[in-house]
Chain A
Protein backbone atom coordinates (compact mmCIF):
# COMPACT_ATOMS: atom_id res chain seq x y z
CA UNK A 1 0.00 0.00 0.00
CA UNK A 2 1.64 3.26 -1.11
CA UNK A 3 1.71 6.15 1.35
CA UNK A 4 0.54 8.62 -1.27
CA UNK A 5 -1.37 7.74 -4.38
CA UNK A 6 -2.91 10.18 -6.81
CA UNK A 7 -4.96 9.44 -9.89
CA UNK A 8 -5.85 12.09 -12.44
CA UNK A 9 -5.39 14.84 -9.85
CA UNK A 10 -6.23 18.10 -11.62
CA UNK A 11 -6.76 21.76 -10.86
CA UNK A 12 -8.17 24.38 -13.18
CA UNK A 13 -8.17 28.02 -12.08
CA UNK A 14 -10.87 30.34 -13.36
CA UNK A 15 -9.25 33.63 -14.31
CA UNK A 16 -10.43 36.76 -16.12
CA UNK A 17 -8.66 35.48 -19.23
CA UNK A 18 -10.51 32.17 -19.08
CA UNK A 19 -9.74 28.84 -17.42
CA UNK A 20 -6.08 27.98 -16.72
CA UNK A 21 -5.23 24.31 -16.31
CA UNK A 22 -2.43 24.46 -13.77
CA UNK A 23 -2.49 20.69 -13.22
CA UNK A 24 -4.06 18.52 -15.93
CA UNK A 25 -3.93 15.09 -14.39
CA UNK A 26 -1.21 13.81 -12.07
CA UNK A 27 -0.86 10.06 -11.47
CA UNK A 28 1.76 9.09 -8.94
CA UNK A 29 2.48 6.85 -5.99
CA UNK A 30 4.95 7.35 -3.16
CA UNK A 31 6.10 4.43 -1.01
CA UNK A 32 6.47 4.67 2.72
CA UNK A 33 9.93 5.91 3.74
CA UNK A 34 10.77 7.09 0.25
CA UNK A 35 12.40 10.44 -0.62
CA UNK A 36 10.66 11.55 -3.77
CA UNK A 37 11.99 14.38 -5.91
CA UNK A 38 9.23 16.21 -7.76
CA UNK A 39 10.83 18.09 -10.63
CA UNK A 40 9.64 20.32 -13.38
CA UNK A 41 10.16 23.66 -15.10
CA UNK A 42 8.60 26.81 -13.64
CA UNK A 43 4.83 26.74 -14.00
CA UNK A 44 4.71 22.96 -14.45
CA UNK A 45 2.21 22.66 -11.57
CA UNK A 46 4.53 21.46 -8.79
CA UNK A 47 3.34 23.84 -6.08
CA UNK A 48 -0.30 23.45 -7.10
CA UNK A 49 0.05 19.67 -6.77
CA UNK A 50 1.62 20.04 -3.34
CA UNK A 51 -1.11 22.40 -2.19
CA UNK A 52 -3.75 19.89 -3.30
CA UNK A 53 -2.04 16.97 -1.55
CA UNK A 54 -1.88 18.99 1.70
CA UNK A 55 -5.60 20.03 1.58
CA UNK A 56 -4.82 23.71 0.96
CA UNK A 57 -6.46 23.65 -2.44
CA UNK A 58 -9.43 21.57 -3.53
CA UNK A 59 -8.79 19.56 -6.71
CA UNK A 60 -11.15 20.16 -9.62
CA UNK A 61 -10.61 16.61 -10.86
CA UNK A 62 -9.19 13.23 -9.88
CA UNK A 63 -8.58 11.78 -6.44
CA UNK A 64 -5.76 11.08 -4.02
CA UNK A 65 -5.09 9.44 -0.68
CA UNK A 66 -2.38 10.37 1.80
CA UNK A 67 -1.54 7.78 4.49
CA UNK A 68 -4.84 6.06 3.76
CA UNK A 69 -6.94 9.22 4.10
CA UNK A 70 -8.93 10.42 1.15
CA UNK A 71 -8.28 14.03 0.18
CA UNK A 72 -11.91 14.77 -0.57
CA UNK A 73 -13.69 12.92 2.22
CA UNK A 74 -11.16 13.02 5.07
CA UNK A 75 -9.09 16.22 4.86
CA UNK A 76 -8.69 16.22 8.67
CA UNK A 77 -7.01 12.80 8.47
CA UNK A 78 -4.70 14.06 5.74
CA UNK A 79 -3.77 17.08 7.88
CA UNK A 80 -2.83 14.84 10.80
CA UNK A 81 -0.60 12.74 8.55
CA UNK A 82 1.31 15.44 6.72
CA UNK A 83 3.64 18.32 7.40
CA UNK A 84 4.12 21.07 4.85
CA UNK A 85 6.83 23.66 4.35
CA UNK A 86 5.86 26.24 1.74
CA UNK A 87 8.41 28.01 -0.42
CA UNK A 88 7.86 31.18 1.61
CA UNK A 89 8.05 29.36 4.93
CA UNK A 90 5.34 30.41 7.36
CA UNK A 91 6.50 32.28 10.45
CA UNK A 92 5.87 35.82 11.63
CA UNK A 93 9.18 37.73 11.69
CA UNK A 94 8.09 39.71 14.77
CA UNK A 95 7.44 36.63 16.94
CA UNK A 96 10.08 34.66 18.84
CA UNK A 97 11.13 31.20 17.68
CA UNK A 98 9.89 29.76 20.97
CA UNK A 99 6.45 31.33 20.67
CA UNK A 100 6.00 30.10 17.10
CA UNK A 101 6.98 26.53 18.02
CA UNK A 102 4.72 26.46 21.08
CA UNK A 103 1.77 27.97 19.19
CA UNK A 104 2.24 25.39 16.45
CA UNK A 105 2.07 22.61 19.04
CA UNK A 106 -1.12 24.14 20.43
CA UNK A 107 -2.60 24.30 16.91
CA UNK A 108 -2.02 20.55 16.80
CA UNK A 109 -4.05 20.36 20.01
CA UNK A 110 -1.20 19.64 22.43
CA UNK A 111 -1.71 20.92 25.98
CA UNK A 112 0.38 23.90 26.98
CA UNK A 113 2.87 21.72 28.89
CA UNK A 114 3.12 19.23 26.01
CA UNK A 115 3.59 22.05 23.50
CA UNK A 116 6.42 23.56 25.55
CA UNK A 117 8.07 20.14 25.84
CA UNK A 118 7.69 19.42 22.15
CA UNK A 119 9.13 22.84 21.24
CA UNK A 120 12.24 22.11 23.33
CA UNK A 121 12.55 18.66 21.75
CA UNK A 122 12.25 20.02 18.21
CA UNK A 123 14.72 22.80 18.98
CA UNK A 124 17.22 20.20 20.18
CA UNK A 125 16.70 17.95 17.13
CA UNK A 126 17.01 20.81 14.67
CA UNK A 127 19.77 22.71 16.40
CA UNK A 128 17.60 25.70 17.31
CA UNK A 129 18.01 25.64 21.09
CA UNK A 130 20.26 28.69 21.23
CA UNK A 131 17.90 30.61 18.96
CA UNK A 132 14.67 30.05 20.89
CA UNK A 133 14.45 33.62 22.18
CA UNK A 134 15.36 35.33 18.90
CA UNK A 135 12.73 36.87 16.69
CA UNK A 136 12.09 34.70 13.61
CA UNK A 137 13.00 37.70 11.45
CA UNK A 138 16.50 37.73 12.95
CA UNK A 139 17.40 34.21 11.77
CA UNK A 140 19.67 33.44 8.83
CA UNK A 141 18.25 31.69 5.76
CA UNK A 142 19.45 28.27 6.89
CA UNK A 143 18.19 28.77 10.45
CA UNK A 144 14.80 29.93 9.10
CA UNK A 145 14.51 26.77 7.01
CA UNK A 146 15.31 24.58 10.01
CA UNK A 147 12.63 26.41 11.96
CA UNK A 148 10.10 25.97 9.12
CA UNK A 149 10.86 22.25 9.11
CA UNK A 150 10.66 22.02 12.90
CA UNK A 151 7.19 23.63 12.72
CA UNK A 152 6.09 21.07 10.12
CA UNK A 153 7.40 18.16 12.24
CA UNK A 154 5.49 19.21 15.38
CA UNK A 155 2.96 16.37 15.14
CA UNK A 156 5.48 13.74 13.91
CA UNK A 157 3.87 13.47 10.47
CA UNK A 158 4.24 10.36 8.33
CA UNK A 159 5.01 12.47 5.29
CA UNK A 160 6.78 15.79 4.95
CA UNK A 161 6.14 17.99 1.92
CA UNK A 162 8.93 20.44 1.15
CA UNK A 163 8.42 23.05 -1.56
CA UNK A 164 11.81 24.13 -2.89
CA UNK A 165 13.41 23.86 0.54
CA UNK A 166 16.90 25.03 -0.42
CA UNK A 167 16.08 27.94 -2.70
CA UNK A 168 18.11 30.93 -1.54
CA UNK A 169 20.38 28.97 0.81
CA UNK A 170 24.17 29.09 0.65
CA UNK A 171 26.00 25.84 -0.24
CA UNK A 172 26.80 25.02 3.39
CA UNK A 173 23.20 25.46 4.51
CA UNK A 174 22.03 23.38 1.53
CA UNK A 175 24.32 20.51 2.47
CA UNK A 176 23.07 20.70 6.09
CA UNK A 177 19.51 20.55 4.89
CA UNK A 178 20.20 17.50 2.74
CA UNK A 179 21.70 15.77 5.80
CA UNK A 180 18.66 16.74 7.82
CA UNK A 181 16.26 15.24 5.27
CA UNK A 182 18.25 11.98 5.16
CA UNK A 183 18.41 11.86 8.95
CA UNK A 184 14.63 12.32 9.23
CA UNK A 185 14.06 9.30 7.05
CA UNK A 186 16.64 7.21 8.89
CA UNK A 187 15.53 7.99 12.43
CA UNK A 188 11.78 8.43 12.02
CA UNK A 189 11.08 6.69 8.72
CA UNK A 190 9.52 9.93 7.49
CA UNK A 191 8.48 9.92 3.85
CA UNK A 192 9.69 13.08 2.12
CA UNK A 193 8.08 14.63 -0.95
CA UNK A 194 10.18 17.54 -2.17
CA UNK A 195 10.12 19.83 -5.15
CA UNK A 196 13.27 21.42 -6.41
CA UNK A 197 14.80 23.33 -9.26
CA UNK A 198 18.26 22.08 -8.48
CA UNK A 199 19.08 18.94 -10.40
CA UNK A 200 22.14 18.14 -8.29
CA UNK A 201 19.86 18.23 -5.26
CA UNK A 202 17.33 15.91 -6.85
CA UNK A 203 20.14 13.60 -7.91
CA UNK A 204 21.84 13.50 -4.53
CA UNK A 205 18.79 13.27 -2.31
CA UNK A 206 15.97 11.41 -4.06
CA UNK A 207 15.37 7.69 -4.28
CA UNK A 208 13.06 8.32 -7.18
CA UNK A 209 12.16 11.26 -9.39
CA UNK A 210 8.84 12.28 -10.84
CA UNK A 211 9.17 14.83 -13.61
CA UNK A 212 6.17 16.99 -14.45
CA UNK A 213 5.69 19.31 -17.36
CA UNK A 214 2.61 21.35 -18.29
CA UNK A 215 0.57 19.75 -15.51
CA UNK A 216 1.19 16.06 -16.25
CA UNK A 217 3.82 13.48 -15.25
CA UNK A 218 6.18 13.05 -18.20
CA UNK A 219 8.72 10.65 -16.69
CA UNK A 220 9.48 8.83 -13.48
CA UNK A 221 12.07 6.46 -12.12
CA UNK A 222 15.31 6.36 -10.18
CA UNK A 223 17.80 9.05 -11.24
CA UNK A 224 20.02 6.44 -12.92
CA UNK A 225 17.15 4.75 -14.75
CA UNK A 226 16.00 8.13 -16.10
CA UNK A 227 19.52 8.98 -17.23
CA UNK A 228 19.80 5.62 -18.95
CA UNK A 229 16.46 5.91 -20.69
CA UNK A 230 16.34 9.59 -21.65
CA UNK A 231 19.91 10.81 -21.39
CA UNK A 232 21.41 7.97 -23.41
CA UNK A 233 23.62 6.45 -20.69
CA UNK A 234 23.80 6.05 -16.91
CA UNK A 235 26.64 8.58 -16.95
CA UNK A 236 24.56 11.27 -18.61
CA UNK A 237 24.03 14.37 -16.47
CA UNK A 238 20.61 14.88 -15.00
CA UNK A 239 20.63 18.26 -16.72
CA UNK A 240 20.80 16.62 -20.16
CA UNK A 241 18.22 14.06 -19.12
CA UNK A 242 15.89 16.79 -17.94
CA UNK A 243 16.31 18.70 -21.19
CA UNK A 244 15.66 15.55 -23.21
CA UNK A 245 12.44 14.94 -21.29
CA UNK A 246 10.98 18.44 -21.15
CA UNK A 247 12.79 20.14 -23.98
CA UNK A 248 13.46 22.98 -21.54
CA UNK A 249 15.89 23.93 -18.85
CA UNK A 250 14.94 23.33 -15.22
CA UNK A 251 16.00 26.79 -14.11
CA UNK A 252 15.25 29.72 -16.36
CA UNK A 253 18.51 31.19 -17.62
CA UNK A 254 17.21 34.74 -17.55
CA UNK A 255 17.11 34.98 -13.75
CA UNK A 256 20.86 35.52 -13.55
CA UNK A 257 21.59 39.23 -13.57
CA UNK A 258 23.84 40.26 -16.44
CA UNK A 259 25.72 42.69 -14.28
CA UNK A 260 25.71 43.17 -10.55
Chain B
Protein backbone atom coordinates (compact mmCIF):
# COMPACT_ATOMS: atom_id res chain seq x y z
CA UNK B 1 0.00 0.00 0.00
CA UNK B 2 2.79 2.40 0.88
CA UNK B 3 4.50 1.66 -2.43
CA UNK B 4 1.25 1.97 -4.39
CA UNK B 5 0.38 5.27 -2.74
CA UNK B 6 3.90 6.68 -3.01
CA UNK B 7 4.03 5.83 -6.73
CA UNK B 8 0.65 7.50 -7.21
CA UNK B 9 1.62 10.73 -5.44
CA UNK B 10 5.04 10.72 -7.11
CA UNK B 11 3.42 10.40 -10.55
CA UNK B 12 0.98 13.21 -9.87
CA UNK B 13 3.70 15.66 -8.84
CA UNK B 14 6.20 14.56 -11.46
CA UNK B 15 3.59 15.29 -14.13
CA UNK B 16 3.13 18.67 -12.45
CA UNK B 17 6.88 19.36 -12.78
CA UNK B 18 6.94 18.21 -16.39
CA UNK B 19 4.13 20.61 -17.23
CA UNK B 20 6.34 23.58 -16.36
CA UNK B 21 9.56 23.02 -18.27
CA UNK B 22 10.70 26.52 -17.37
CA UNK B 23 10.64 25.82 -13.62
CA UNK B 24 12.41 22.55 -14.30
CA UNK B 25 15.40 24.37 -15.81
CA UNK B 26 15.23 27.56 -13.75
CA UNK B 27 16.56 25.87 -10.61
CA UNK B 28 19.88 25.17 -12.28
CA UNK B 29 20.40 28.83 -13.19
CA UNK B 30 21.95 30.08 -9.95
CA UNK B 31 24.59 27.33 -9.61
CA UNK B 32 25.25 27.65 -13.34
CA UNK B 33 26.01 31.35 -12.91
CA UNK B 34 28.43 30.52 -10.09
CA UNK B 35 30.03 27.95 -12.35
CA UNK B 36 30.46 30.44 -15.22
CA UNK B 37 31.38 33.63 -13.42
CA UNK B 38 32.85 32.45 -10.10
CA UNK B 39 34.50 29.16 -11.08
CA UNK B 40 37.18 30.72 -13.34
CA UNK B 41 38.38 32.91 -10.44
CA UNK B 42 39.51 29.84 -8.54
CA UNK B 43 41.52 28.03 -11.19
CA UNK B 44 44.92 29.49 -10.21
CA UNK B 45 44.34 29.98 -6.50
CA UNK B 46 46.08 27.79 -3.91
CA UNK B 47 43.03 26.07 -2.38
CA UNK B 48 44.78 23.12 -0.73
CA UNK B 49 43.42 19.65 -1.20
CA UNK B 50 43.93 17.41 -4.19
CA UNK B 51 42.73 17.84 -7.74
CA UNK B 52 41.71 20.95 -9.64
CA UNK B 53 39.63 23.85 -8.42
CA UNK B 54 36.67 22.42 -10.37
CA UNK B 55 36.80 19.25 -8.30
CA UNK B 56 36.41 21.47 -5.24
CA UNK B 57 33.79 23.85 -6.56
CA UNK B 58 31.40 21.52 -8.39
CA UNK B 59 30.59 19.35 -5.31
CA UNK B 60 29.80 22.59 -3.46
CA UNK B 61 27.55 23.83 -6.25
CA UNK B 62 25.72 20.49 -6.40
CA UNK B 63 24.87 20.70 -2.73
CA UNK B 64 24.00 24.38 -3.08
CA UNK B 65 21.53 23.37 -5.76
CA UNK B 66 19.97 20.83 -3.40
CA UNK B 67 20.13 23.14 -0.39
CA UNK B 68 18.35 26.12 -1.95
CA UNK B 69 16.05 24.13 -4.20
CA UNK B 70 14.76 21.68 -1.63
CA UNK B 71 14.42 24.14 1.24
CA UNK B 72 11.89 26.09 -0.80
CA UNK B 73 9.94 22.98 -1.85
CA UNK B 74 7.36 23.78 0.82
CA UNK B 75 6.08 26.75 -1.14
CA UNK B 76 4.13 24.38 -3.38
CA UNK B 77 2.28 22.89 -0.44
CA UNK B 78 1.27 26.31 0.84
CA UNK B 79 -0.43 26.89 -2.51
CA UNK B 80 -2.03 23.45 -2.38
CA UNK B 81 -3.28 24.08 1.14
CA UNK B 82 -5.07 27.15 -0.17
CA UNK B 83 -6.66 25.08 -2.93
CA UNK B 84 -7.78 22.45 -0.41
CA UNK B 85 -5.88 19.71 -2.24
CA UNK B 86 -3.94 18.56 0.84
CA UNK B 87 -7.07 18.13 2.97
CA UNK B 88 -8.91 16.44 0.13
CA UNK B 89 -6.15 13.84 0.05
CA UNK B 90 -5.85 13.52 3.82
CA UNK B 91 -9.52 12.56 4.02
CA UNK B 92 -8.89 9.52 1.77
CA UNK B 93 -7.25 6.33 3.12
CA UNK B 94 -3.95 7.26 1.41
CA UNK B 95 -0.84 6.60 3.50
CA UNK B 96 0.38 9.75 5.26
CA UNK B 97 3.98 8.73 4.69
CA UNK B 98 3.23 8.40 0.95
CA UNK B 99 1.87 11.96 0.83
CA UNK B 100 5.32 13.09 1.94
CA UNK B 101 7.50 10.51 0.17
CA UNK B 102 5.78 10.96 -3.20
CA UNK B 103 6.54 14.67 -3.04
CA UNK B 104 10.15 14.47 -1.84
CA UNK B 105 11.01 11.72 -4.31
CA UNK B 106 9.69 13.96 -7.08
CA UNK B 107 11.92 16.73 -5.74
CA UNK B 108 14.90 14.38 -5.62
CA UNK B 109 14.25 13.41 -9.26
CA UNK B 110 14.06 17.03 -10.38
CA UNK B 111 17.21 18.08 -8.51
CA UNK B 112 19.27 15.09 -9.61
CA UNK B 113 18.23 15.93 -13.19
CA UNK B 114 19.40 19.51 -12.64
CA UNK B 115 22.60 18.20 -11.04
CA UNK B 116 23.31 16.17 -14.18
CA UNK B 117 22.91 19.32 -16.31
CA UNK B 118 25.22 21.21 -13.97
CA UNK B 119 27.92 18.53 -14.12
CA UNK B 120 27.71 18.41 -17.93
CA UNK B 121 28.21 22.18 -18.02
CA UNK B 122 31.12 21.82 -15.59
CA UNK B 123 32.77 19.24 -17.84
CA UNK B 124 32.67 21.82 -20.63
CA UNK B 125 34.29 24.33 -18.26
CA UNK B 126 37.14 21.96 -17.48
CA UNK B 127 35.97 19.55 -14.75
CA UNK B 128 37.57 16.11 -14.89
CA UNK B 129 36.42 13.62 -12.24
CA UNK B 130 35.96 9.83 -12.01
CA UNK B 131 32.50 8.59 -13.02
CA UNK B 132 32.00 6.67 -9.76
CA UNK B 133 32.73 9.84 -7.81
CA UNK B 134 30.26 11.82 -9.90
CA UNK B 135 27.56 9.19 -9.30
CA UNK B 136 28.25 9.28 -5.56
CA UNK B 137 27.77 13.04 -5.77
CA UNK B 138 24.29 12.55 -7.28
CA UNK B 139 23.40 10.13 -4.48
CA UNK B 140 24.29 12.80 -1.92
CA UNK B 141 22.20 15.36 -3.81
CA UNK B 142 19.26 12.91 -3.66
CA UNK B 143 19.63 12.33 0.09
CA UNK B 144 20.02 16.04 0.78
CA UNK B 145 16.90 16.94 -1.20
CA UNK B 146 14.83 14.20 0.44
CA UNK B 147 15.80 15.40 3.90
CA UNK B 148 15.54 19.15 3.27
CA UNK B 149 12.38 18.69 1.23
CA UNK B 150 10.75 16.82 4.13
CA UNK B 151 11.68 19.54 6.59
CA UNK B 152 10.51 22.22 4.18
CA UNK B 153 7.08 20.59 3.71
CA UNK B 154 6.81 20.15 7.47
CA UNK B 155 7.57 23.82 8.05
CA UNK B 156 5.16 24.90 5.30
CA UNK B 157 2.34 22.84 6.85
CA UNK B 158 2.96 24.63 10.14
CA UNK B 159 3.38 28.26 9.06
CA UNK B 160 0.76 28.28 6.31
CA UNK B 161 1.58 31.66 4.71
CA UNK B 162 4.28 32.45 2.12
CA UNK B 163 5.07 35.62 4.06
CA UNK B 164 6.23 33.60 7.06
CA UNK B 165 7.71 30.75 5.08
CA UNK B 166 10.03 32.64 2.71
CA UNK B 167 11.97 34.70 5.27
CA UNK B 168 12.26 31.73 7.65
CA UNK B 169 13.78 29.52 4.97
CA UNK B 170 16.09 32.30 3.79
CA UNK B 171 17.28 32.95 7.32
CA UNK B 172 18.16 29.27 7.69
CA UNK B 173 19.57 28.47 4.25
CA UNK B 174 22.02 31.38 3.84
CA UNK B 175 24.08 30.64 6.99
CA UNK B 176 23.85 26.93 6.18
CA UNK B 177 25.46 27.56 2.82
CA UNK B 178 28.19 29.83 4.17
CA UNK B 179 29.03 27.70 7.20
CA UNK B 180 29.30 24.44 5.31
CA UNK B 181 32.00 25.76 2.98
CA UNK B 182 30.13 25.09 -0.23
CA UNK B 183 31.98 27.78 -2.23
CA UNK B 184 35.46 27.42 -0.74
CA UNK B 185 36.72 24.64 1.55
CA UNK B 186 36.60 25.40 5.26
CA UNK B 187 40.21 24.23 5.58
CA UNK B 188 41.08 27.75 4.40
CA UNK B 189 39.16 29.23 7.33
CA UNK B 190 40.63 30.53 10.60
CA UNK B 191 40.34 28.05 13.47
CA UNK B 192 37.14 29.42 15.03
CA UNK B 193 35.23 29.34 11.73
CA UNK B 194 36.46 25.85 10.94
CA UNK B 195 35.29 24.67 14.38
CA UNK B 196 31.93 26.40 13.97
CA UNK B 197 31.38 24.81 10.57
CA UNK B 198 31.67 21.34 12.11
CA UNK B 199 28.30 21.97 13.76
CA UNK B 200 26.75 22.36 10.33
CA UNK B 201 25.67 18.94 9.03
CA UNK B 202 26.04 19.91 5.34
CA UNK B 203 29.77 20.38 5.82
CA UNK B 204 30.17 16.61 6.18
CA UNK B 205 28.24 16.05 2.96
CA UNK B 206 30.33 18.45 0.92
CA UNK B 207 33.59 17.05 2.32
CA UNK B 208 32.48 13.56 1.32
CA UNK B 209 31.51 14.59 -2.23
CA UNK B 210 34.84 16.44 -2.66
CA UNK B 211 36.67 13.24 -1.71
CA UNK B 212 34.52 11.30 -4.19
CA UNK B 213 35.37 13.78 -6.96
CA UNK B 214 39.11 13.11 -6.54
CA UNK B 215 38.55 9.35 -6.43
CA UNK B 216 39.15 8.76 -2.68
CA UNK B 217 36.24 6.63 -1.53
CA UNK B 218 37.49 4.94 1.65
CA UNK B 219 38.09 8.01 3.76
CA UNK B 220 36.93 9.32 7.11
CA UNK B 221 35.19 12.18 5.29
CA UNK B 222 33.18 9.68 3.25
CA UNK B 223 32.20 7.72 6.36
CA UNK B 224 31.03 10.82 8.23
CA UNK B 225 29.30 12.14 5.13
CA UNK B 226 27.28 8.97 4.66
CA UNK B 227 26.42 8.75 8.35
CA UNK B 228 25.30 12.37 8.57
CA UNK B 229 23.31 12.21 5.30
CA UNK B 230 21.48 9.01 6.30
CA UNK B 231 20.79 10.22 9.84
CA UNK B 232 19.53 13.56 8.55
CA UNK B 233 17.24 11.84 6.06
CA UNK B 234 15.79 9.48 8.68
CA UNK B 235 15.19 12.34 11.11
CA UNK B 236 13.66 14.65 8.50
CA UNK B 237 11.31 12.02 7.05
CA UNK B 238 10.14 11.13 10.58
CA UNK B 239 9.43 14.77 11.39
CA UNK B 240 7.69 15.30 8.05
CA UNK B 241 5.43 12.26 8.39
CA UNK B 242 4.44 13.31 11.90
CA UNK B 243 3.36 16.69 10.60
CA UNK B 244 1.40 15.15 7.70
CA UNK B 245 -0.31 12.79 10.11
CA UNK B 246 -1.31 15.29 12.76
CA UNK B 247 -1.33 18.70 11.10
CA UNK B 248 -4.63 20.36 11.68
CA UNK B 249 -4.23 23.99 12.61
Taking Cβ atoms with an 8 Å cutoff, the residues of A that contact B are 13, 51, 54-58, 76, 79-80, 82-84, 86-95, 99, 103-104, 106-109, 151, 155
Other A-B contacts than A82-B91, A86-B87, A90-B84, 19 sampled, CB-CB below 8 A, are: A56-B90, A56-B248, A58-B246, A58-B248, A84-B87, A84-B88, A86-B88, A88-B82, A89-B84, A90-B85, A90-B87, A91-B85, A93-B83, A99-B15, A103-B12, A107-B8, A107-B93, A108-B92, A109-B1
Q: Which residues of B have CB within 8 Å of A82?
A: 91
Question: Closest CB-CB distance, B184 to chain A, in whole Å?
Answer: 41
Closest 5 CB pairs of A and B: A90-B88, A90-B84, A88-B84, A57-B248, A107-B92
19 contacts between A and B (CB under 8 A): A51-B87, A51-B248, A56-B90, A57-B248, A58-B248, A82-B91, A86-B84, A88-B84, A89-B83, A89-B84, A90-B83, A90-B88, A92-B80, A94-B19, A95-B16, A103-B12, A107-B5, A107-B93, A107-B94
User: Contact size class for B?
Assistant: 20 to 34
Q: How far is the CA of A55 from the CA of B87 in the complex (A)?
A: 10
Taking Cβ atoms with an 8 Å cutoff, the residues of B that contact A are 1, 4-5, 8, 12, 15-16, 19, 80, 82-85, 87-94, 246, 248-249
Please tell me if the beta carbons of B91 and A79 are within 8 angstroms of each other in the complex. yes
Q: Which residues of B have CB within 8 Å of A104?
A: 88, 92
Q: How far is the CA of A92 from the CA of B17 in the complex (A)?
A: 13
Question: Which of B4, B84, B246 has the largest count of A CB atoms less than 10 A from its CB?
Answer: B84
The main secondary structure of chain A at its interface with chain B is loop
- Closest-by-CB residue of B relative to A89 is B84
Q: How far is the CA of A155 from the CA of B92 in the complex (A)?
A: 9
Please tell me if the beta carbons of B87 and A56 are within 8 angstroms of each other in the complex. yes
Please tell me if the beta carbons of A79 and B93 are within 8 angstroms of each other in the complex. yes
Q: Which residues of B have CB within 8 Å of A108?
A: 92-93
Q: How far is the CA of A93 from the CA of B80 in the complex (A)?
A: 10
- Return the contact of B91 from the options A13, A56, A88, A99 (Cβ within 8 A): A56
Question: Closest CB-CB distance, A94 to chain B, in whole Å?
Answer: 6
Q: How far is the CA of A241 from the CA of B16 in the complex (A)?
A: 49
Q: How far is the CA of A99 from the CA of B14 in the complex (A)?
A: 14
Q: How far is the CA of A104 from the CA of B84 in the complex (A)?
A: 14
- Closest-by-CB residue of B relative to A137 is B83
Q: How far is the CA of A211 from the CA of B79 in the complex (A)?
A: 33
